[in-house]
A and B are shown apart, each in its own frame.
Chain A
């Protein structure tokens, strides 16, 4: 059974304090590893898709990386507007189903 585990559950940073979020996955035949941002009362907003180990993608202050067992979302010099829940999801094999982790609630204090 596919599993996705995110850590930490919650992370509180000061503005400008860089850190990383972890996503460990167990998926047969990874088709894609996805990162989403979710603000309160809204649906998940797509950030990145990673397809193979060694791949990296960047967007503003965010950088996602992928290994064969885990993915990291690096946040460089975060701002208060980066506060949100960050979700990781994986799909594997011939199944289009996404398996989600529980998310990391990030709070960035000014």
Chain B
């Protein structure tokens, strides 16, 4: 299965600023997924990123708040813009596994907004 490197692993940010999270995959993948895991909550899909096209956002998430880049088949970034304390969460990237493997997840970025 694919190996995902995600960084930063954690950050503490001031409200009103932006943070860009990077995900690097060790193989080429068509789709990459970005999730948010709020404290005590389940993982929620933010958007699906395909290389060469605009990301597809889920209900409740907008491009201005969570712009995504997908410059090639192994890399993607998620930016959390104009942050507020409500954005404090774990953000995870994921790719679909091969064969019968399930989706693989990065180790996550724990974001705290103060």
Taking beta carbons and an 8 Å cutoff, which residues of A are in contact with B? Answer: 4, 32, 34, 36, 41-49, 87, 89, 96-98, 100-103
B75 CB–A CB distance under 8 Å: no
A34 adjacent to B42 (CB under 8 Å): no
Given contacts A36-B102, A98-B103, contact A46 B97 (CB under 8 A): yes
B105 adjacent to A48 (CB under 8 Å): no
Distance in angstroms between the alpha carbons of A84 and B102 in the assembled complex: 19
Chain A nearest CB: distance from B25 CB in Å?
A: 13
Question: Across the interface, which residues of B come within 8 angstroms of A47, CB to CB?
Answer: 102
Chain B nearest CB: distance from A98 CB in Å?
A: 6
Chain A nearest CB: distance from B105 CB in Å?
A: 4
Chain A contact residues: over half helix, strand or loop, or mixed? strand
Question: Which residue of the partner chain, among B31, B41, B92, B101, contacts A46 with CB atoms under 8 Å?
Answer: B101
Chain B residue with the shortest CB-CB distance to A32: B102
Distance in angstroms between the alpha carbons of A46 and B4 in the assembled complex: 13
B11 CB–A CB distance under 8 Å: no
Question: Across the interface, which residues of A come within 8 angstroms of B96, CB to CB?
Answer: 96
Chain B residue with the shortest CB-CB distance to A47: B102
Given contacts A96-B48, A101-B42, contact A46 B107 (CB under 8 A): no
Chain B residue with the shortest CB-CB distance to A43: B105
Question: Across the interface, which residues of A come within 8 angstroms of B15, CB to CB?
Answer: none
Which of B1, B4, B45, B48 counts the most chain A CB atoms within 10 A?
B45
Question: Which residue of the partner chain, among A42, A43, A46, contacts B102 with CB atoms under 8 Å?
Answer: A46
- In the complex, 11 of the A-B residue pairs with CB atoms within 8 angstroms, ordered by the A residue number, are A32-B102, A41-B110, A42-B107, A43-B107, A44-B92, A46-B102, A49-B100, A87-B42, A87-B43, A98-B45, A101-B42
